[in-house]
Homo-oligomer: A and B are copies of this chain.
Amino acid sequence: MLVAPYIDAFNPPRRTLMGPGPSDVYPEVLAAQARPTIGHLDPLFVGMMDELKSLIQYAFQTENEMTLAVSAPGSAGMETCFVNLVEAGEKVIVCRNGVFGERMRQNVERVGATAIVVDNEWGEPVSVADVEAALIANPDAKFLAFVHAETSTGALSDAKSLCALAKQHDCLSIVDAVTSVGGVELRVDEWGIDAIYAGSQKCLSCVPGLSPVSFSPAAVAKLKSRKTPVQSWFLDQTLVMGYWSGTADNSAKRSYHHTAPVNALYALHESLRLLANEGLESAWQRHADMHQVLRQGLEGLGLKFVVDEASRLPQLNAVYIPEGVDDAAVRKQLLENYNLEIGAGLGALAGKAWRIGLMGYGARRENVALCLKALEDVLK
């Protein structure tokens, strides 16, 4: 026998999470998650899932029947959209203005489809004009895929215009809303988004590990008309929907697909419930307001934003690291002396920028104050 390791219980400190996610989790969500586990086919659990579905519909502002939470993080939500909708040989226009657009491209290639990449600079929004040109140049494209709120740069793209363009050119739109949902305006039905995925750990202030997704009727029709099986068994929505809302034929019976992450779903239910109680528009306004307070303070410290004001995300503030300042040392001091986490730069911005999150429950005045004072102290 290999000997058992002797390991103490893990007692994490209480940090203030102002990175790119996970964000500060609502205390109510942590408490909800610790409630007793019940079976994933228990009638009470199934009732909770019905509520959860209506809460996700609210957060996305959609009446899409196919709305659920993928039992895995946002990256799996992204993959869910691509492997279910896109088939080998099809053409997808992928907008790339940061890490997550590039990840979309990789997803397209891994299903054997062709990605037509529309590149914009890191820190810029997706160019609506460039996308229109790509759509015109590629009349056989079937999808337009873009990131609403780029977590790697803090740039917000014009999802409404992009989805309108997609529709005009007979493309289905696939939208990454991991960082946008709950933090900025997002209207799935009104804007005509066909497939959307999010993450639990950003502006929803839930624990990380789940990905709310939603498919429009047009996306569902595409899924049903597939010529080949979905390459992933785990993410195959034709199977998963048998559990989330009876079969596609609308039988009421829930059939087993995989064991749902019961306690994590309690947590998501609670976080979305808190969002619904606050009201989406109030939450959007709170993010905008707290961003203004943070912005003034950061500019007062002489820090410059990566993204122009017009397309700046309130919930993800990327600022350039001042010359001569040791990136890692600053973040270490904030973490060790103030229990404050801010994010490092990612990809092209690694070592050049910090990413300061104001997400969900974290978008509060006390967090802004702590961040500004701690940065002031450390940068002195």
A interface list, Cβ under 8 A from B: 1-7, 9-15, 17, 19, 21-22, 24-25, 28, 30-45, 48, 51, 54-55, 57-58, 61-63, 71-76, 78-79, 83, 103, 106-107, 109-111, 189, 199, 201, 207-209, 229-234, 256-264, 266-267, 269-270, 273, 276-277, 279-281, 335, 341, 344, 346
A33 touches B34 (CB 8 A): yes
Question: What are 16 residue pairs bridging A and B, where the CB atoms are less than 8 Å apart in the complex?
Answer: A1-B61, A2-B61, A4-B276, A4-B277, A4-B280, A7-B51, A7-B269, A22-B37, A34-B34, A38-B341, A41-B344, A71-B73, A73-B261, A109-B229, A207-B261, A263-B264
Output the least CB separation between A119 and chain B (Å).
20
B71 touches A262 (CB 8 A): no
A276 touches B5 (CB 8 A): yes
Report the separation of the CA atoms of residues A291 and B24 in the bound assembly, to the nearest whole angstrom.
Answer: 44
Query: Could you list 20 further interchain pairs (A-B, Cβ under 8 angstroms) beyond the known A9-B273, A208-B263?
Result: A1-B61, A5-B55, A7-B55, A10-B51, A10-B270, A14-B36, A15-B36, A21-B259, A31-B34, A42-B341, A71-B209, A72-B234, A75-B233, A75-B234, A78-B234, A79-B233, A109-B229, A199-B259, A207-B263, A209-B209
Output the least CB separation between A243 and chain B (Å).
11
Known contacts A73-B259, A262-B207: does B79 contact A7 (CB below 8 Å)? Answer: no
A256 touches B34 (CB 8 A): no
Residues of B within 8 A of A3 (CB): 58
Partner of A110, one of B35, B76, B233, B266: B233
A45 touches B259 (CB 8 A): no
Output the least CB separation between A360 and chain B (Å).
12
Partner of A10, one of B32, B261, B277: B32
B208 touches A259 (CB 8 A): yes
Report the separation of the CA atoms of residues A110 and B61 in the bound assembly, to the nearest whole angstrom.
Answer: 34
Known contacts A4-B279, A12-B44: does B17 contact A39 (CB below 8 Å)? Answer: yes
B51 touches A36 (CB 8 A): no
Partner of A33, one of B33, B230, B276, B280: B33
Residues of B within 8 A of A73 (CB): 71, 234, 258-261
Q: Which of A38, A48, A230 has the most CB of B within 10 A?
A: A38
A231 touches B71 (CB 8 A): no
Residues of B within 8 A of A37 (CB): 12, 17, 22, 24-25, 30, 207-208
Report the separation of the CA atoms of residues A369 and B267 in the bound assembly, to the nearest whole angstrom.
Answer: 32
Output the least CB separation between A15 and chain B (Å).
5
Report the separation of the CA atoms of residues A6 and B4 in the bound assembly, to the nearest whole angstrom.
Answer: 49
Report the separation of the CA atoms of residues A4 and B57 in the bound assembly, to the nearest whole angstrom.
Answer: 9
Known contacts A79-B232, A231-B110, A341-B42: does B12 contact A209 (CB below 8 Å)? Answer: no
Partner of A209, one of B36, B54, B230, B261: B261
Report the separation of the CA atoms of residues A277 and B8 in the bound assembly, to the nearest whole angstrom.
Answer: 10
Report the separation of the CA atoms of residues A50 and B41 in the bound assembly, to the nearest whole angstrom.
Answer: 34
Residues of B within 8 A of A39 (CB): 15, 17, 19, 22, 341
A269 touches B10 (CB 8 A): yes
Residues of B within 8 A of A36 (CB): 12-15, 25, 30
Q: Which residue of B lies closest to A257 (CB)?
A: B75
Q: Which residue of B lies closest to A278 (CB)?
A: B4
Report the separation of the CA atoms of residues A75 and B261 in the bound assembly, to the nearest whole angstrom.
Answer: 12
